[in-house]
Structure 1
Amino acid sequence: MTQLDKNIALNLKRIRKSKNMSLDMLAERTGVSKSTLGQIERGESNPTVSTIGKIVEGLKVPFEQLIYDRKEIMVMPSPEEAPVFKEKEGQYRIYVMLPFDASRNFEIYQGELDGKAQMESESYGEQTWEYLTVVSGEIELILDDQSFHVERGSSLYFACDRKHVYRNAGEEKAVCNMIITTQH
């Protein structure tokens, strides 16, 4: 059995049960026989694309939800234990809190900027957005010729398909969370 077949088997059973559906009910909704659905859930059958299409339509879930490897829980390290993505001694540190994974469409970083420090960041590519939340301190974000002041507890989002600069507007260390996502 391939990993894809395992994913479909596990996800089909999990989704069906989460909707409180029996195999009979799912068969009625999808037009796929109860025995075929049972074989798929047990990993004894390789469903065709047509069968998968009927199943996702009957369950009313996206195709991806049926085929991807579901990671139930992923515990990420604290910033002190997280890998450093980018660093400039005495200026800033960027930690990888949740790395990019093909099954997700985002990644999360935590940034620390020392007093009055600044960090330049290049473009992340077309159709890429950043959601920035300041956890402590205050950060000035500079995009092109515009400047945005973000205080503790505030957030903003922007297209990060161009060079941008983060500047600590205060004397104390500023901490921020950055979620980077690509839209298709």
Structure 2
Amino acid sequence: MNINARIAYRLRELRNARGYSLDALAERSGVSRSNISLIERAQSSPTAAVLDKLAVGLSVALASFFEDAAGGTKAAPPSPFIGLAEQPVWQDPASGYKRRRLSPPAPSPLQLVEVVFPPGGRVALDSAVHDADIHQQIWLLAGRMELTVGDTAWTLSTGDCLSMQLNQPVVFHNPGTKPARYLVALTTLARPAHRLASPTVLSARNDP
């Protein structure tokens, strides 16, 4: 399955699981009904910004669009192993950044993603998923990155790690002349019904 077909399948799967019509998701996400329909038919290559809006509308992490289809069979349950050649790679048509899903298909509360961000590249994501507690840590393996989380700006050099909750806008920018490479560890926590608010930036040691 190529990457656009994977995104198309997962978008339909997530939308149907929530019982949303195309019109309902368009209203929740701010992405037009026609654009959603094109993406679900694998006739459009969505940008990171569009996928982020859809993720917010569905109350999931953007990474959900790159997962394998839900479930499995008794004969072939999801594997706990994935080789390098099978790891899905997607490139944002707008910024050129590349993301590789490292995690195997077997269900896990933790997801790992590798990102290579081109020099001068910039991506602004809403990332305000209010109906789920989605947390991620970004560990910079090479290069430099500037991240603005809400109103707070962070500059990361090689080896630095930043932790955040995806409930506010995030801007990713590579100010350097070389590609930046970083690892993203992502998890979704169950949210108690009585919780009305959560902290934003969890911690940082000074990362679509």
TM-score by length of 1: 0.53
Query: Relative to 1, partners in 2 of residues 1:148 and 1:100: Cα closer, same or farther, differing over 3 Å?
Result: farther
1:106 aligns with 2:113: no
Q: Which amino acid aligns with 1:92?
A: Y
What does residue 97 of structure 1 align with?
A: 102
Contact 2:95 2:123 in 1 (8 A): no
Q: In the aligned structure 2, how far is the partner of 1:94 from the partner of 1:177? A: 10
8 Å CA contact 1:122, 1:162 repeated in 2: yes
Q: Contact between 1:99 and 1:108, CA under 8 Å: does it hold in 2?
A: no
Which residue is 1:163 aligned to? 169
Tell me the CA shift for residue 141 of structure 1: 0.9
Q: Which amino acid aligns with 1:75?
A: I
What's the CA shift for 1:105?
0.8
In 2: Cα distance, 1:120 partner to 1:86 partner: 15
Query: For 1:68-90, what per-residue CA distance to the aligned partner results, in whole angstroms no more than 9, with x for missing partners?
Result: xx989513416xx6312442366
Q: Any conservation in 2 of the 1:91–1:114 contact (CA below 8 Å)?
A: yes
Change (3 A) 1:99 1:180: farther
Q: Which amino acid aligns with 1:178?
A: V
Between Structure 1 and Structure 2, which shows a larger proportion of strand residues? 1
Q: How does 1:127-142 map to 2 (within 5 A)?
A: 127-142=133-148
Task: Indicate the residue corresponding to 1:149 in structure 2.
Answer: 155
Secondary structure at the aligned position of 2:84 is classed as: coil
Aligned residues: 112
SS of 2:182's partner is strand
Structure exhibiting the larger radius of gyration computed from Cα positions: 1
1:77 aligns with 2:84: yes
1:76–1:98 CA contact under 8 A, matched in 2: no
Q: Where does 1:118-129 land on structure 2 (aligned, <5 Å)?
A: 118-123=122-127, 125=129, 126-129=132-135
Please list every run of 5 or more consecutive structure 2 residues that lacks an aligned counterpart in the other structure: 1-76, 191-208
**Relative to 1, partners in 2 of residues 1:124 and 1:110: Cα closer, same or farther, differing over 3 Å?**
farther
